[in-house]
Each structure stands twice: as C-alpha cells, then as structure tokens.
Amino acid sequence: MSNKTTWKKMKIIFRRLFTLILQDISFFVPWPVRSYLHRARGVRIGSNVFIGSLVILDEAYPEYITIEDNVQVSAGAKIVAHDSSFKNVFHGGVPTYIGGIILRRNAYIGSGAMILPGVTVGESAIVGAGAVVISDVPARTIVVGVPAKVVGTINKSAERFLSKRGPFLWKYYEEPRELTESEISRIKKCLQDRRDE
C-alpha cells in the first residue's frame, strides 16, 4: 500500500470522525445553532429550517442529505442515508447502499420519525410522529405508520385541524388562544387558493 493510498484513507477517516463529533455537539446546542453544525458536516440546508433536539442526520454520510427551505424536523427524528444491513449479513460480501434523501420545501417531519435511504419527502408533506418512511412521499400528503402510508391530503386534514376546540398559537413565544372567526376564514381562503393552484 502506497503512502498516497494511506493518506487518502486517513483523510476519509478524519472527515467521518469530524462529522460524528459535530453530530454529537448538535444534541447540546440551542436550535438556531444546529443548522450551522449540520452544514459544516456536509448536509445541504436551506433557509428557515428548524432542527429539533436529538435529531440524527446520518452519522456517516450527511453529505447525501438535502433539506430545502422552511422544513421542520422535530425532536428525535432520524434521517439515514445509508444501509449496511446486507453488508453485515453477508460478512462484507455486499457493499453498503447510500441513497440521497431530499426533504422538499415546507415539509414537516414528526417527532421520532425515521426517513430511510433514497427517499424524497414532497413539498408541504407531513410525516407523522414515529413513522418509518421507506418510499417517496407525494407533495401535500400526510403519511403515518410503519411502514408509512398516505392517510390524507393537507387541505382536507387542515380543515379538520381548524375545527378543533382549544387554544392555538401563531408564534412560539405568544400565549395560546382561541382563533377568531376572521382568522379561521382567512386560513380557509388560503387553503382554497392553494387547492386552486
């Protein structure tokens, strides 16, 4: 083995070690800092992205993850871009699969959800808490379960959501309160406008 080959392997090992350290640090910092740490690891992250506490963005291959603008990844979610299960089962006779993951604009990933390699979560889609996503999620749909299955569309579910009684809040730092009739009407108009697009 030449020195050139050895140095190349060492660079890869150090890069993987660096990404693991940044992943672990991200568990302990406030949410506004997490995106910066994951960008330094190689994750492509758009603007206005929220990454919750204890989120794992592939520890070994974060550079295969793309998170577009306005995405929320809730606490404890796991986004895994590689699968080494068959490599292990066949004692190294099968390579590790690496599949890019894309979370499109305005997607929401619920607490404890798991996104597996090669998956694209469509624009404005919702992945329910604890779901295990093994295939692409169409835009403006809601998926739940293990494995995740489509259970509805955004517009129909949003109308049911608005019919709930109890407090709502617009911004994290505000006091929860009941929605006014004019706010409900404005939201319903927004839903109708999006349906017509």
Give, for all 197 residues of the chain, the pLDDT tens digit.
Answer: 566 678 888 888 888 888 888 888 888 888 889 999 999 999 999 999 999 999 999 988 999 999 999 999 999 999 999 998 888 888 878 888 999 999 999 999 999 999 999 999 999 999 999 999 999 999 999 999 999 999 988 877 777 777 777 788 777 778 888 888 888 888 888 777 766 55
Q: Print the domain residue range for 52.
A: 3-153
Domain count, the chain: 2
Model-level pTM?
A: 0.85
Cβ of 21: how many Cβ atoms within 10 Å?
A: 12
* CA distances (Å), origin 75, targets 20, 27, 52: 18, 10, 4
Q: Would 158 be classed as within a structural domain? A: no
42 shares its domain with 19: yes
CATH classification at residue 147: 2.160.10.10
80 in the same domain as 33: yes
Phi-psi sector, 86: left (phi>0), alpha (psi -120 to 50), beta: alpha
SS3 category, 156: helix
